[in-house]
């Protein structure tokens, strides 16, 4: 082990910055020095030192492009601090979305935890990297996609906007130029992805994404009074219901995560336990197909 590697192991904060540096370059293909200064509130001098340290460990991983004024990934890139596995990136995205950094640093002090996880959907790294880059830089993406509504895969031209995790699967929320509308694409069903540059015309506003809907959840009326009270405590309900705001584009995923379908009131109360109280208000936005 070199002196630089030993030093890296001793300094936790430096290791975190270099890990982010490497992950950023690997998944987006580039790194701007200001990204480090703004993310970690460090000086430009310190950020430059971090980059120099990283290059001393992996000199063939980055190259500086003077015209673009940023570091770019090389074809010889070999990970040092990350695995480069798609699931690693997606887990980080999920964790940073749900937990503030101050909480993430305390994980080592928490008690043992066991988590039941369903089988991981396979996502090809050759798909995830261009998806992330297209979403980050507003680029078009040509994808090969196997929809469950068609027997054969088809080519689609899309502009990804964001990634969505519905509790089981990762989706890409994107404007489909092929269909002329925003759609969700399951990442595991994308078998090819090629960057195609900037769109010729601006992508329209995703109305369903910027629209927030009130969702009211309550105990199943078939439960006994004491059972309903237990459900109310379980979900932190007030006055017999729980309310939240959900993006219209994500409403079907939200309800499915709560196991609320179109027949929630008709299902056996002990199995269903909670129901959607304002279905008439939301029916136009719900699609359980």
Are both 88 and 198 inside the same structural domain? yes
Whether residue 223 is predicted with pLDDT greater than 60 in this model: the reply is yes
Are both 182 and 224 inside the same structural domain? no
- Whether residue 79 is contained in a domain is answered as no
- Whether residue 78 is contained in a domain is answered as no
- pLDDT of res. 103: 47
Q: How confident is the model at residue 207 (pLDDT cuts 50, 70, 90)?
A: very high
- Whether residue 281 is contained in a domain is answered as yes
Instruction: Please give the residue that has the higher pLDDT: either 85 or 43.
Output: 43
Domain boundary among 171, 204, 237: 204
State the average pLDDT for the chain.
87
Q: How many domains does the chain have?
A: 3
Q: Distance (Å, rounded) from C-alpha 213 to C-alpha 251?
A: 8
Are both 33 and 115 inside the same structural domain? no
Are both 105 and 193 inside the same structural domain? yes
Structure confidence by residue, pLDDT tens digits, 224-259:
999 999 999 999 999 999 999 999 999 999 999 999
- Whether residue 143 is contained in a domain is answered as yes
Q: Distance (Å, rounded) from C-alpha 254 to C-alpha 215?
A: 10
Residues 6+ apart with CB under 8 A from 217: 235, 237, 241, 242, 243, 244, 258, 260, 274, 275, 276, 277
Are both 152 and 126 inside the same structural domain? yes
Segment 119-135 shows an average pLDDT of 88
Q: Compute CA distances 29 → 56, 57, 202, whole Å.
A: 19, 18, 24
- Token couple for 203: 């992508």
- pLDDT of res. 104: 47
Of 30, 184, 196, 194, give the one whose Cα is nearest residue 124: 194
The boundaries of the domain holding residue 117 are 84-204
Residues 6+ apart with CB under 8 A from 125: 84, 85, 86
- pLDDT of res. 13: 82
Q: Using CA atoms in the order 66, 71, 76, 82, what is the torsion angle rounded to 10 degrees?
A: 180
Q: What is the CA radius of gyration of the chain?
A: 23
**What stretch of H or E contains 257?**
helix 251-257
240: left (phi over 0), alpha (psi -120 to 50) or beta: left
- pLDDT of res. 98: 55
Structure confidence by residue, pLDDT tens digits, 7-44:
456 578 888 888 888 988 888 889 999 888 988 889 99
Are both 279 and 253 inside the same structural domain? yes
- Token couple for 131: 């998806």
């Amino acid at each position: 082990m070199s002196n630089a590697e030993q030093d890296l192991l001793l300094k936790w904060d430096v290791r975190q910055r270099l890990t982010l540096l490497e992950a950023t370059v690997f998944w987006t293909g580039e790194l701007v020095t200001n990204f480090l200064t703004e993310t970690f509130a460090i000086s430009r001098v310190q950020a430059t030192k971090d980059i120099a340290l990283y290059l001393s460990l992996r000199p063939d991983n980055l190259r500086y492009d003077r015209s673009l004024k940023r570091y770019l990934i090389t074809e010889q890139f070999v990970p040092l601090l990350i695995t480069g596995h798609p699931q690693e990136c997606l887990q980080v995205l999920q964790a940073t979305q749900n937990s503030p950094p101050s909480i993430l640093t305390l994980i080592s002090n928490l008690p043992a935890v066991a988590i039941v996880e369903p089988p991981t959907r396979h996502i090809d790294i050759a798909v995830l990297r261009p998806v992330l880059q297209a979403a980050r830089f507003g680029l078009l993406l040509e994808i090969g996609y196997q929809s469950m509504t068609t027997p054969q895969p088809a080519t689609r031209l899309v502009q990804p906007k964001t990634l969505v995790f519905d509790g089981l699967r990762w989706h890409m929320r994107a404007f489909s130029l092929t269909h002329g509308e925003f759609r969700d694409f399951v990442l595991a069903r994308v078998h090819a992805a090629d960057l195609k540059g900037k769109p010729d015309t601006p992508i329209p506003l995703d109305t369903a994404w910027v629209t927030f809907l009130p969702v009211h959840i309550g105990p199943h009326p078939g439960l006994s009074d004491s059972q309903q009270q237990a459900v109310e405590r379980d979900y932190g309900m007030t006055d017999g219901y729980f309310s939240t705001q959900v993006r219209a584009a994500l409403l079907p995923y939200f309800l499915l995560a709560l196991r609320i379908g179109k027949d929630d009131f008709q299902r056996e109360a002990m199995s269903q336990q909670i129901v959607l109280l304002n279905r008439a208000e939301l029916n136009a936005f719900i699609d359980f197909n």
